[in-house]
Structure 1
Amino acid sequence: MNPLLEAEQAVLGAVLLDPDQLRQLGWLTPEHFHRPVHQALFAAMRKLHADGHPASTAEDSVPLSWVTDTVAEAGQHVRGLTASHAHTLISACPRPGHAPVYGRMVLEGAIHRSVTAHAIRLHQDARADALQGEVEGALRGADVLRDVLIDLARRWGAEPRPVAPGVPPAPGPVTSRPSWARRVPGEERILLGVLAERPRSMDEVVGWLRPDDFADLAHGQLYRCLVALHHRGEPIDRITLLWEAQRRGLLADGTLSSDQLAAVCGDVGPGSAEWLGEQVMRSSVTRTAATSARAIRTLAENEALAPGQLINHALHALDPLDEVRTRWQTANGRPAPTPPAPSPNEPPPAQVHAARARSTPRALSPPVPRPGSAPSPAAVRPPSRGRS
């Protein structure tokens, strides 16, 4: 027997035996039941009780009409419901006084189902947006999922706040790249070629485009090399880019090859770095939304996860999408949403600003030669050699 099914039967049987239990189940709704017949029965009980059925004021024994009227009312919405089914529910309830506990079991199952359904919908929205070259559907689906999580947290009695799971959810089965994502690396390669050939165009994208936005790992690492050279104010061409890739170990570990880099630098045509960057960014939004949706679905399908943990872990899984959304809005000239006030456990804003400043291009200051000596090669370098 399914434990959730037994919990649904038990809470319905408890109310059939003691209609006054409905006063303790005001937070439970018919939609929280999995089976349609159980939804109809609970809705009928709430309606009859609200209408002042004689059973709701009975002090001694519950009249038989409470059971028959409940079945009759529910029978108007589902087929095949008989009085024998009601008696089966009554026999399935061990203790009518435990109805609130049974109800919380039903709510727990509803939370898992609801989060699963909305995660699937978010994944479908992200896939549809990727096919159409849009992002609004995925972002709207993420907002709906977040609102659902906050509402479920309120019903469960937990504080909705993002919490990272102690053990990350197991990844889903490895599949080949979907057809709707196969055109993205081509746009990434063209963008990298434009940036390598026209280094000044880095200013158009460096403020909001990140290496993780690239679908191809090698392309993301190559963009990281471009950003590092740009931030240090060093010349950018095929040779300096190859040298930076070697310094980062990308040639040794096989992430990049000199032939790949030469092909990227040679694939240059007319195009705007800003426009190409927006295409990469758009793909990053839908890809991140799909990744968040898969992670949340994996969490929701773990029946051992308590509802409060599920909700908070799911909110945490949406954080990467929020970060990508903010940069997408910056790329399109839209005002970014006002950030929430930092919690006591978060680092102070000054510390966060200092950390982010490492990704902001710095103006180069002219070297100051020592009196009576020629400047050394180290003196003409920018003061920092840190990597982005």
Structure 2
Amino acid sequence: MDPLLTGEQAVLGAVLLDPRQLDRLDWLEPRDFYRPAHQALFAALRALGGAGHPALAAEGTVPLSWLNDSLAEAGRHVRGLTASYPHALIAACPRPANAPLYGRMVLEGAIHRTVAEHAARLLAVADEGTRQHEADGTVAQADVLVGVLADLAWRWGAPPRPQAPAVPPAVVAAAAPTPGQIEDERFLLALLVHQDGAIGEVFGWLRPGDFADPGHGHLYRCLGALHHRGEPIDPATTLWEVQRRGLLADGTLTGERLSTVLGNGAAGSAEWLGEQLLRGSLNRTAAVAARQIAAHADDDRLAPGQLIGQALHVLGPVDQVRERWRTATSPPEPQPRPGADQAARVSAALARSPARATGRTMPGPASPKIPHVVTDPVIRTRPHRSPS
């Protein structure tokens, strides 16, 4: 027996037996049913109920016109419905009063199915973005999936918040890197080793996990450690850092792989190459998240609230890579003109100062009185004395 099919039949049979159950199922939509015939039949029942069918006011036995009219209305949109099928639905309903519970069974199946469909779309868009070397479609599809999860959470009555699973799920491996990706990563690493200051162009937003080859990611981590400590980066210091971290001893890196990076110089734009790697990392992270969400959606043991929360949790790494992608591709902010900050501070200070009254002097503290000295306007000169 299929529990989802049983739930769809039970809710339809409940409405056919008691049309007033539609008032308790206003949150259920025809698209929530899996079978097209059930979608058409539930849409017909809602349309007849909204038009005020006489069966809604009937007391006791439901008139036969309720079944016939619903069957005729549904037959306009889908084929294959026979006159006996409504009676089979009625027989499949244990108790009409349990219609809301049957409806939640249908909605739960619809949530699992909808999450799986959008996860498959995200996976397809991410794979196509990898082939076309673009990430805009992946970003847009990830936003669509987040919006769908929020809508499903609202319909189910649970807050749309990330929820880590109690038991860590099986790790979903990313697709194997292509030879072209390996070559691009090797070229970028050689550029960072041989070109002074090149790592400063990507250090703020490129991470070791963005490399498709784990060995390249470990090598980039060594370069980042040298840059963080303010030490020079060249083939000798890089080889020393690799040795200190034991990457040669444990087989993470080999001398042959290191020689392709440390032995050959490179010239180019580290920022441009880093953006290409970050674009691939975004598509790759989204593809891994889509596979994990699809695995959660196939797990019938997960309640809808758990499924939505775990799907949002899985999308967390995608959002982190996307934020770094925005940082890498956003244009630089314009620098303020010299003296602009000082002028702005003066204007703000004047705006905070109280307005001065015009035409009169503000009263101030009393000043001490100074005695007035009257002077004789006649200019007194010293008497002239003749010489004796």
Q: Which category of TM-score, normalised to the shorter sequence, fits these structures?
A: 0.7 to 0.9
Q: In the TM superposition, what are the counterparts of 1:58-97 in structure 2 within 5 Å?
A: 58-97=58-97
Q: 1:282 aligns with which of 268, 273, 279?
A: 279
Given residue 207 of structure 2, which amino acid in structure 1 is its aligned partner? R
Task: From the superposition, tell whether residues 176 and 277 of structure 1 become closer, same or farther in structure 2 (CA, over 3 Å).
Answer: closer
State whether residues 122 and 138 of structure 1, in contact with CA within 8 Å, keep that contact through their aligned partners in structure 2: yes
1:8 aligns with 2:5: no
Aligned to 2:98: 98
1:177 aligns with 2:176: yes
1:189 aligns with 2:186: yes
Aligned to 1:314: 311
Q: In the TM superposition, what are the counterparts of 1:125-274 in structure 2 within 5 Å?
A: 125-171=125-171, 177=176, 181-274=178-271
State whether residues 288 and 320 of structure 1, in contact with CA within 8 Å, keep that contact through their aligned partners in structure 2: yes
Aligned-partner Cα distance in 2 for 1:214–1:267: 20
Aligned-partner Cα distance in 2 for 1:335–1:16: 64
Aligned to 2:29: 29
Percent identity reads 61
Report how far residue 171 of structure 1 moved. Answer: 4.0
Report how far residue 176 of structure 1 moved. Answer: 6.4
Aligned length: 333
Report how far residue 168 of structure 1 moved. Answer: 2.6
Aligned to 2:341: none
Report how far residue 230 of structure 1 moved. Answer: 0.5
Unaligned runs of at least 5 residues, structure 2: 334-388
State whether residues 195 and 267 of structure 2, in contact with CA within 8 Å, keep that contact through their aligned partners in structure 1: no
Aligned-partner Cα distance in 1 for 2:79–2:132: 42
Task: From the superposition, tell whether residues 334 and 57 of structure 1 become closer, same or farther in structure 2 (CA, over 3 Å).
Answer: farther
Report how far residue 248 of structure 1 moved. Answer: 1.3
State whether residues 119 and 293 of structure 2, in contact with CA within 8 Å, keep that contact through their aligned partners in structure 1: yes
Task: From the superposition, tell whether residues 87 and 221 of structure 1 become closer, same or farther in structure 2 (CA, over 3 Å).
Answer: same
TM-score, normalised with respect to structure 2:
0.83
Higher Rg: 2
Task: From the superposition, tell whether residues 79 and 334 of structure 1 become closer, same or farther in structure 2 (CA, over 3 Å).
Answer: farther
State whether residues 242 and 258 of structure 1, in contact with CA within 8 Å, keep that contact through their aligned partners in structure 2: no
State whether residues 174 and 288 of structure 2, in contact with CA within 8 Å, keep that contact through their aligned partners in structure 1: no
Q: What is the CA deviation profile of residues 160-216 of structure 1, one whole-angstrom value per residue up to 9, with x for unaligned ones?
A: 0001111232245x79627xx441111110000000001311110000000000000
Aligned to 2:358: none
Aligned to 1:365: none
Secondary structure, aligned partner of 1:199: coil
State whether residues 238 and 262 of structure 1, in contact with CA within 8 Å, keep that contact through their aligned partners in structure 2: no
Report how far residue 93 of structure 1 moved. Answer: 0.2
The more displaced of 26-35 and 246-255 is 246-255
Aligned-partner Cα distance in 1 for 2:49–2:179: 58
Aligned-partner Cα distance in 1 for 2:257–2:69: 76
Report how far residue 307 of structure 1 moved. Answer: 0.4
Aligned to 2:45: 45
Aligned-partner Cα distance in 2 for 1:302–1:169: 11
Task: From the superposition, tell whether residues 296 and 334 of structure 1 become closer, same or farther in structure 2 (CA, over 3 Å).
Answer: farther
State whether residues 188 and 273 of structure 2, in contact with CA within 8 Å, keep that contact through their aligned partners in structure 1: yes
Task: From the superposition, tell whether residues 292 and 220 of structure 1 become closer, same or farther in structure 2 (CA, over 3 Å).
Answer: same
Unaligned runs of at least 5 residues, structure 1: 337-388
Task: From the superposition, tell whether residues 210 and 166 of structure 1 become closer, same or farther in structure 2 (CA, over 3 Å).
Answer: same
Report how far residue 150 of structure 1 moved. Answer: 0.3
Given residue 34 of structure 1, which amino acid in structure 2 is its aligned partner? Y
Aligned-partner Cα distance in 2 for 1:26–1:182: 55
Q: In the TM superposition, what are the counterparts of 1:320-335 in structure 2 within 5 Å?
A: 320-333=317-330
Aligned-partner Cα distance in 2 for 1:335–1:161: 33
Given residue 8 of structure 1, which amino acid in structure 2 is its aligned partner? E
Report how far residue 335 of structure 1 moved. Answer: 9.2
CA RMSD, aligned part only? 1.5
Task: From the superposition, tell whether residues 315 and 335 of structure 1 become closer, same or farther in structure 2 (CA, over 3 Å).
Answer: farther
Report how far residue 237 of structure 1 moved. Answer: 1.4
State whether residues 169 and 298 of structure 1, in contact with CA within 8 Å, keep that contact through their aligned partners in structure 2: no
Aligned to 2:375: none
Aligned to 1:350: none
